[in-house]
Amino acid sequence: MPHLQDYAIGVECVKLPTSEISLGTKVVFAISGQINIKIAEENFELQEGDILVLDRNTFYTIEGDKENLLINLTISDTFFAHYYEEYFQHSFKFFSRESDPGRERIVGTLRKSVSELLITSTTRTRANKLEAQTALLQILLLLTRFLKKQIPSSTRKEVNDKRISRMIREVEERFDETLSLREFAQKEFLSEAYLSRYFKKTTGLGFLQYLTEVRLKHALQNIIHSTESITEIALKNGFSSQKHFSEVFKAHFSVTPSEYRAQHHSDFSKIEQETTVQTSSNIEQIKPNSDILIKLTSLYQEMELGTDLNEAPFEEKSITVTDKSPRTLEKNMHILTIGELKEALKEDVQRQIITTRDELGVNYIGVRYLFGGSTFLPEAETDELVPTSSPYAKADLALTFLKQHNLQLFIRLEYQDISRDEKGVFDRLDHFLRHSIQMFGREFVSKWHFMFFEPKYTSANKMDLKRLYLKVQQTIKSIFPAIQVGNFVPFSLSKNAVPTQHTWFLDIADQIDFISFNANQNEAVDFSNEDIKSFLISEDYCLAKTLKLKAFLKHHHINKPMMLINWNTLTGNTRHTNGTFFRGALVLRTMLDLAPEVNALGFWINTELHEGEGSQLNISLDGLEMFHFFNGKRPAFYAVKFFERLKGIVVAEGEDYIITKHADGYQLILMNCATINPRYAVEEKFLKEERKEVHIRIKGFEAGEYQVCKWQFDRDNGALYSKYWQLNSKHGLDKEILDYIVDASQPTLTVSDETITEDWSFYAYLDINAIHFYEFRHTI
């Protein structure tokens, strides 16, 4: 094994069982065969690809089968402590085979870095020396960010651990000299008693114990690889006498130095006789060849060292599953607003409608401007006995499409449109309903909903609003009583009230089938304010407004179905922030909160249609869009898809997770919800601070064999805009590029087989507003 000041690495084959001591942090990477390492009462069986990390000052016994081959890397305490001042306060002990799921990427990257360090250390060139240092620092990064554990006996770190680093470096350099704690205390301007306590608290060892073990480490090498006498080795490594050395050695290894030497040479007598020939020890050093390098390549996956290697706040979460008092999942009526009814004749809109029906459970299509728009054609004068042209030609084609796909209408009738031509609108409403029943049947039309709408700020007279609503309700009910007619209520959360002009509905609640309302977090925030705390007021805005409105209605003895037709999470008010601020978990968390409280949730089909109703720059994003204008699926699409995928009963839930149980197993959703100013979405450093790593422990799963499917949805796994920005250029995007972006922008899926006990744990690394969806499927 080549020895360097900072680290030692090499390929080894264990010929016979041997005992070793590691005064640095050791990484053992099994290349082939089976290797057994015993530490005190613990036994680790390493097979191909396994990695075992041992702490400093660890005594262990190692043995292997005939085919064993391993990489042995030892990082010196001095080097490690120089780059990581809290080194002595942590343990880095880790065995990949026994690690919880969720560490696969970390283990794969550790394999790759150790392999690169071996290759670059073997080839002694200037360039490779730099690459070796890079690989070594990458290993330190992995150990300190993901594998460290606080030593239980350690107390809080005191200042200036560099003192201990200096002492350790000097001990490593002068271990063969006469060293005393008093000498170091004088150099550091500390009392001997204080330095003794400080050194032991920091390293876990007393100064003399540490010095002794450094000397033993070097003496071991001389015993195995030299023909020097035991006395010469003792004096060479700082021991006062051969007798003292033998006593210390036997206390550590349970055998004398002579007995250890005899055990670790195939023929000790030849060493005495042939001083110029080094016989093979129990561990054979192997020079890396092409076969070994090819083998190493197959043991790690090529990967970019991306977000998964960024440091993130760590938390432990324990979840207990119980079905003693479960609740059933609530499912809502989903309304997809497309604008005018004629939009349903467009090929791309039809494709999006069918996609949302099949994947999101959308069952209602919302339309506006039924009479004031351009869906209905003008009446044409003709001398035909049976006219061949109809004002409902386009409407009939659109309704035929909806009926064929089992979709119903949710029609918004606006006061302003009606009041402009009251008689004409009611004549057309009456005629259109009768025509639709005749053409498409009573069963289809019976499921339609009509919503009377006037915005919060209106100049309309309160009594006139009431009069027109009643006229709409009576006209529709007189033709077909089964059709639902409801009213939009512009409720104010801050005032806990309804504007005076809109209070008329309280008097005629018995003639209202449902209440609809809006809840948009963006309306509660001043986006010009850079204060992050000001955005926290919007965190639960949709749920808070829903509950307040329900309480308001209950106070007035009104119990009607509630439909949240327009709602949103924070987006900002421009196309830029809306695109770069990933918010998948915010949408899903809001849906989970709202599901038990409302009967329907509304969505928009795409930005293109939405933007057509506003200005070109500052767009009023009062609803959630399912698609981008080039058919890409927005975060809301996948958030709703995950929501719809949930089934069974809820057996555990919290602010950032939910677990359901069903006949085939379990489902788990993890979320990392972060309410921030969307303008910070372009600040990568800020977003990194919102990531988190969680160690989940679940208690109460039925023990057994499971197939575990995990969907990961975040900025780098499924978000449309991450691919969009990566592939954009000043020359624009052609159809081929756009199609690729759409196809590539979907959550990633990983599948594994797990044996789960009642107490099962795993790791999850969640980016800002990420969603991790797990399915645990019983195997047969």
pLDDT tens digit string along 529-571?
666 666 776 778 899 999 999 999 999 999 999 999 999 887 7
pLDDT tens digit string along 40-88?
778 999 999 999 999 987 878 899 999 999 999 999 887 888 888 788 7
Side chain identity at residue 589, one-letter code: R
- Please return the burial class of 552, using the count of CB atoms within 10 Å of its CB with bins 0-12, 13-18 and 19+: middle
Task: Say whether 455 sits in a helix, a strand or coil.
Answer: coil
Q: Which of 416, 329, 403 is nearest to 371 (CA)?
A: 416
Asked if pLDDT for residue 112 goes beyond 80, the answer is yes
First and final CA of the chain: distance in angstroms?
49
pLDDT at 212: 87
CA–CA distance, 35 with 207 (Å, rounded to integer): 34
Tell me the average pLDDT across 713-717: 92
Q: Which of 489, 494, 496 is nearest to 538 (CA)?
A: 494
Tell me the average pLDDT across 731-756: 87
Q: How would residue 401 be classed by pLDDT, with cut points 50, 70 and 90?
A: very high
CB 629 within 8 A of CB 608: yes
CA–CA distance, 506 with 605 (Å, rounded to integer): 33
Vertex 130 angle, CA 127 and 134, to 5°: 135
Side chain identity at residue 776, one-letter code: F
- Residues with Cβ within 8 Å of 651's Cβ and at least 6 positions away in sequence, in order, are 321, 322, 323, 326, 659, 660, 661, 666, 700
pLDDT tens digit string along 474-505?
999 999 999 999 999 999 998 999 999 999 99
Beta-sheet pairing, 704-713 with 771-778: antiparallel
The better pLDDT of the pair 683, 213 is held by 213
In this structure, what DSSP letter does residue 78 have?
H
pLDDT at 730: 76
CA–CA distance, 138 with 51 (Å, rounded to integer): 16
Asked if pLDDT for residue 156 goes beyond 60, the answer is no
Q: How would residue 610 be classed by pLDDT, with cut points 50, 70 and 90?
A: low
| Torsion angle defined by CA atoms of residues 333, 336, 337 and 343, in that order, rounded to the nearest 10 degrees | -140
CA–CA distance, 372 with 193 (Å, rounded to integer): 91
Long-range contacts of 198-205 (CB under 8 A, 24+ apart): 198/158, 198/163, 198/164, 199/164, 199/167, 201/154, 201/155, 201/158, 202/88, 202/89, 202/157, 202/158, 202/161, 202/164, 203/88, 203/164, 203/168, 204/57, 204/88, 204/151, 204/153, 204/154, 205/57
CA–CA distance, 541 with 519 (Å, rounded to integer): 7
Tell me the average pLDDT across 584-611: 87
pLDDT at 418: 94
Q: Which of 237, 344, 740, 462 is nearest to 246 (CA)?
A: 237
- Quote the tokens at residue 373: 């728009």
Asked if pLDDT for residue 644 goes beyond 60, the answer is yes
pLDDT at 284: 85
- Quote the tokens at residue 747: 């959550």
Strands (DSSP E) contained in 111-244 are 149-150
The better pLDDT of the pair 472, 176 is held by 472
Tell me the average pLDDT across 518-524: 83
Rg, Å, the chain Cα set: 36
- Torsion sign across C-alpha atoms 632, 678, 766, 699: negative
Asked if pLDDT for residue 310 goes beyond 70, the answer is no
Residue 504 CA to its chain's centroid (Å):
48
pLDDT at 163: 76
Asked if pLDDT for residue 659 goes beyond 50, the answer is yes
In this structure, what DSSP letter does residue 497 have?
B
pLDDT at 34: 95
pLDDT tens digit string along 8-22?
899 999 988 887 778
47-to-35, 60, 63 alpha-carbon distances in Å: 7, 18, 12
CB half-sphere exposure, 217, CA atoms < 13 A: 22
pLDDT at 324: 79
Q: How would residue 248 be classed by pLDDT, with cut points 50, 70 and 90?
A: confident
Question: What's phi and psi for 574, nearest 5 deg?
Answer: -135, 165
pLDDT at 599: 96
CB half-sphere exposure, 301, CA atoms < 13 A: 8
pLDDT at 630: 77
pLDDT at 572: 63
In this structure, what DSSP letter does residue 457 have?
S
Asked if pLDDT for residue 268 goes beyond 50, the answer is no
Vertex 297 angle, CA 291 and 302, to 5°: 165
pLDDT at 704: 92
CA–CA distance, 577 with 537 (Å, rounded to integer): 19
Q: Which of 39, 92, 55 is nearest to 205 (CA)?
A: 55
pLDDT at 93: 93
CA–CA distance, 71 with 112 (Å, rounded to integer): 12
Tell me the average pLDDT across 368-385: 74
Long-range contacts of 35-41 (CB under 8 A, 24+ apart): 35/62, 35/63, 35/64, 35/65, 35/68, 35/70, 36/62, 36/63, 36/64, 37/61, 37/62, 38/62
CA–CA distance, 772 with 308 (Å, rounded to integer): 14
Domains of the chain, first to last: 7-305 (1.10.10.60), 327-406+514-778 (2.60.40.1500)
Q: Which of 361, 329, 348 is nearest to 640 (CA)?
A: 361
Side chain identity at residue 726, one-letter code: Q
The better pLDDT of the pair 461, 222 is held by 461
CA–CA distance, 284 with 169 (Å, rounded to integer): 29
Task: Say whether 754 sits in a helix, a strand or coil.
Answer: strand
CA–CA distance, 210 with 762 (Å, rounded to integer): 36
Burial 466-494 (b: 16+ CB within 10 A, else e): bebbebbbebbeebeeebbbbbbbbbebe
- Quote the tokens at residue 132: 């070796």
pLDDT at 701: 92
CA–CA distance, 580 with 678 (Å, rounded to integer): 8
Question: What's phi and psi for 349, nearest 5 deg?
Answer: -65, -45
- Quote the tokens at residue 602: 């509304």
Asked if pLDDT for residue 209 goes beyond 90, the answer is no
